[in-house]
Amino acid sequence: MSIDLKTRVAVSSEVMLQELGGESVLLDLKSESYFGLDAVGTRIWQLFEQDGNLEVVHAALLDEYDVDAARLEHDLKALVQRLVDAGLVNIETPGADEA
């Protein structure tokens, strides 16, 4: 499964979030496993909830943080892959249902 900035991320309905001092703990109700996010990861999660379009998330983070665009794209895609692997988000790739 390929993740790029055209990908849309949907937060799983089976996940609960608890913020603690700018950081967060995610609980997957299905597997009863926990996943921790630092302050930047928490901000990314909030942006996923607002608009799952990775282009929109990437642009918002570029505005908010002093970071190289290519580095941000790499790190964002890596986080999305980890969240997918943990079952915390689902992804949609444009054109996937057009065949």
Token match 């299905």: residue? 30
State whether residue 33 is helix, strand or coil.
Answer: strand
Express each pLDDT in 1-22 by its tens digit: 689 999 999 999 999 999 988 8
Express each pLDDT in 44-97 by its tens digit: 999 999 999 999 999 999 999 999 999 999 999 999 999 999 999 999 866 655
- How far apart are alpha carbons 68 and 35 in whole angstroms? 26
Given pLDDT bands bounded at 50, 70 and 90, which one contains residue 98?
Answer: very low
The amino acid present at 44, given as its one-letter code, is I
Please give the pLDDT value at position 99.
41
Could you tell me the CA-to-CA distances from 3 to 17, 32, 82 in Å, in that order? 24, 26, 11
pTM: 0.87
